[in-house]
Amino acid sequence: MAQGDLKVLGLFSSPFAIRVRMVLEQKGLTYEYLEEDLSNKSELLLKHNPIYKKVPVLIHGDRSICESLVILQYIDENWSGIGPPLLPADPYERAIARFWAAYIDEKFVESFWGILKACTEEAKAEKIADSIGALKQLEEVFKKCSAGTGKGFFGGDTIGFIDVTFGSQLAWMKALEKISGAKLLDETKIPLLMEWVKHFLAIDFMKSILPDVERVAEYGRELQATIWKADSVK
């Protein structure tokens, strides 16, 4: 595929844009990555995502696809013969993968973003507990996926739909630990997931896609200050 045929509009800290790039890299597809400034959105972003005006957006020729999980499924189906499949072939297993990906975005992400937004120690402690509870649930999911197989990923021998959905959040999880002092990635509580993290981060292209944790933490502190200031004037 020619360089100009495929573009990704993203933001360095966006786990949702990061997961799109992960799948494109795994498929070996050539694409152009365009960093957005969400405080000064480009005409390209406004043209291709006029409804939500946010990243990520995948531009394929004259087509645009929005929302990260939708984009992942489009890539997997459109380039089904290239690279390992992202979703299982079995309809039931495919439905289960979609269910847990939605759980990650709707339950887990909401909980750990709540840590950043919390204005009191009580609220922060509640969100930390919720996040750890969600991680323990994902530990059980991974345990079932890998039971007796020795496979390193939710998707088997290669990263699949659940892997990229969860793995794209790793930089933010580590950044939130630095910002809040919370211990989310704890080997004593989620030993299997911590082994999964080692396998996931050992993939070569992850080093070029996952952002620097210190940079994300700095961005997170600025975002937190903005959120707290907005809450204080309500």
CA dist 106 and 16 (Å) reads 13
For the chain, the helix, strand and coil percentages under 3-state DSSP, each to the nearest 5: 60, 10, 30
Q: Spell out the CATH class of 3-78.
A: alpha beta
**The predicted structure's pLDDT at residue 155:** 85
**Predicted confidence (pLDDT) per residue in 55-107, tens digit:** 999 999 999 999 999 999 999 999 999 999 999 999 999 999 999 999 999 99
Distance of CA 60 to the CA centre of its chain: 21
Residues carrying CATH 3.40.30.10, the chain: 3-78
Reading the block at residue 122, the tokens are 């009580």
Per the CB < 8 A criterion, the answer to whether 58 and 6 are in contact is yes
**CATH number, domain 91-230, options 1.20.1050.10, 1.20.1260.10, 1.10.760.10, 3.30.70.1350:** 1.20.1050.10
Quick: pLDDT tens for 14-61: 999 999 999 999 999 999 999 999 999 999 999 999 999 999 999 999
pLDDT at 234: 60
Domain(s) of CATH 1.20.1050.10: residues in the chain: 91-230
**Residue-wise pLDDT tens digits, 175-210:** 999 999 999 999 999 999 999 999 999 999 999 999
pLDDT digits (tens, 9 = 90+) for 101-158: 999 999 999 999 999 999 999 999 999 999 999 999 999 999 988 866 677 899 888 9
- Pairing relationship of beta strands 6-10 and 32-35 according to DSSP bridges: parallel
Integer Cα distance of 216 and 2 in angstroms: 32
- Residues 6+ away with beta carbon under 8 Å from 176: 112, 115, 116, 182, 184, 220
